[in-house]
Structure 1
C-alpha cells in the first residue's frame, strides 16, 4: 500500500500566500491557506494508505485531522525538502502540496489503484503554472528530486524529464491550478464547489480590497511550484 505525504507550511499571516495580497490582507491570505490545507488533509484522511504523513514547516493545530503522523520539514531549498519527505517511506509514496483545495479522491485514483505500480514507476500531476501538484514514486529515491529547479515556470517539465531520464514509466494525473494569486483563488474556488476554501472565498471577497492589503508583500521564490507551500 502507498504512503501518502502532504507537504505544507503552517498558515501564519505574512508567511503564507503573500501573493494573494492585495486584494486580501495577510490574515485573510492565511485563512485561505488554512482552508486549502484543511480541504487537502480531509481528502487524504479518507484514502486507504500504508501511512499518512504531514511534512510540516511549523506547528500542527486544530486543522489537522486524526490519522496523520507529523514530521518536520528538512532543511534547505525545496528540492532537498521534497527529497527528505520521500525518504520517510521505504515503499511507494505519493506526495501532494497544500495549494490545491479542489483535490479529490477521484483525481488521485489512478495513482492509488490496486495495479497503480504494476505499469508505472512514477505518477506526475502537472500544474497549470508549469509546476506540479502531485508526485508519486514506486521507489522513493531522493536523487530523483535533488537539483531540480523549483519555484520557476519550468519546474514541472524539469521534474518530469528527470523521471523519464531515469528510465521510469511515468503516469500522468490531470492538470490542476494551484492557488498563488487572487486570480487563481477565484478560479479554484469555482472548481472546488463545496470545499472549505470555496466557502471562505465567497465570504471574504466582498470585504477584500486594496485598503486591506497593508503588510503583505511577495517574497522571492513565492509561487510557481505547487508543491511549494510558501
Structure 2
C-alpha cells in the first residue's frame, strides 16, 4: 500500500477540457448535428461541469484546457494549458499542476455529474485512489492521493477503447493502491448518448436545455 501524504482537507479538482470550437469538439455528433450545434452541446456540458466543480469544496480548482478560455468560464479557476501527446500523457501531465494532497480529475463529457459525487474525495477518506467508470468502458473521474505518481499510473494505458477503464483500474490495483469506486456515468460521445444523459442531468442543466432547444431544429 502506498504512503499517503499528510495533507488534510478537500481535493484539488481538475477539469480536462477542450475549447468548444465548431469542428474541433464532439465531431462524432456530426451528423446528425452540425459542427456548430455539436459545439453548442459541448459548451453546455463544459459549463455544467465547471459549475458543478465550483459548488464542490476544493483546495484548488484547475481547468486544464486545450484552447483559450471564453465567457463560459466561471470565476475561481486557475487555467493551465494541456500538454502535447496522447490522452494518457495529457492526463498524467494534468496532475503535475497539483501540489501535495489528493487531486481528482474529471472530463467535460458527463454534465449529469453532481457535486455530491465529488465531495467525498479527499478529506477524511483514507483511500489511495478514486475511480469513476464510464458506461462505454472508459472512465469519467480519476483521483489520486499522491498526484506525483500519476505518470507511472496513467502513461501507457490505452485510451479510447472499451477496456480503458478496466486497464486503468487494474494499473491502480497492481500498484498496491486502495481504490474507491465512484458510480458509473455515461459519457456524451455519440448522438445516442444525448437523450439518456440529458434525462439524468439535475434541474437547471445547460446541457439539458441545449438538447431541448436543438430538438426543435429541423434536420
TM-score by length of 1: 0.87
Is 1:126 matched with 2:141?
no
Query: In structure 2, what is the equivalent of residue 46 of structure 1?
Result: 55
Deviates more, 1:187-196 or 1:37-46: 187-196
What per-residue deviation string (whole Å, max 9, x for no partner) do you get for residues 12-56 of structure 1? 001100111111100000000000000000010111111100000
Query: In structure 1, what is the equivalent of residue 117 of structure 2?
Result: 107
| 8 Å Cα contact 2:198-2:207 kept in structure 1 | yes
Q: 1:153 to 1:208 in 2, by over 3 A?
A: farther
Give the deviation of 1:208 after TM superposition: 5.0
Q: 1:52 to 1:139 in 2, by over 3 A?
A: same
| 8 Å Cα contact 1:121-1:138 kept in structure 2 | yes
Aligned residues: 206
Alpha-carbon distance in structure 1 between the residues aligned to 2:31 and 2:67: 24
- The CA RMSD over aligned residues, in Å, is 1.0
What per-residue deviation string (whole Å, max 9, x for no partner) do you get for residues 122-158 of structure 1? 0000000000000000001121101000011111001
Q: Which has the higher contact order (CA 8 A, sep 6+)?
A: 1
- Where do 5+ consecutive residues of structure 1 fail to align? 210-230
What per-residue deviation string (whole Å, max 9, x for no partner) do you get for residues 49-99 of structure 1? 111000000000000000000000011111000000011112210000000
Aligned mate of 1:189, from 195, 198, 202:
198
Query: In structure 1, what is the equivalent of residue 217 of structure 2?
Result: 207
| 8 Å Cα contact 1:110-1:173 kept in structure 2 | no
Alpha-carbon distance in structure 2 between the residues aligned to 1:184 and 1:66: 29
Alpha-carbon distance in structure 2 between the residues aligned to 1:193 and 1:172: 22
Alpha-carbon distance in structure 2 between the residues aligned to 1:45 and 1:81: 22
Give the deviation of 1:109 after TM superposition: 3.0
TM-score by length of 2: 0.92
Alpha-carbon distance in structure 2 between the residues aligned to 1:154 and 1:110: 26
Alpha-carbon distance in structure 2 between the residues aligned to 1:55 and 1:106: 22
Spell out structure 1 runs of 4+ moving beyond 2 A.
none
Q: 1:102 to 1:57 in 2, by over 3 A?
A: same
Aligned mate of 1:22, from 17, 31, 45:
31
Aligned mate of 1:67, from 71, 76, 79:
76
| 8 Å Cα contact 1:20-1:181 kept in structure 2 | yes
Aligned mate of 2:143, from 123, 136, 148:
136
Give the deviation of 1:111 after TM superposition: 1.8
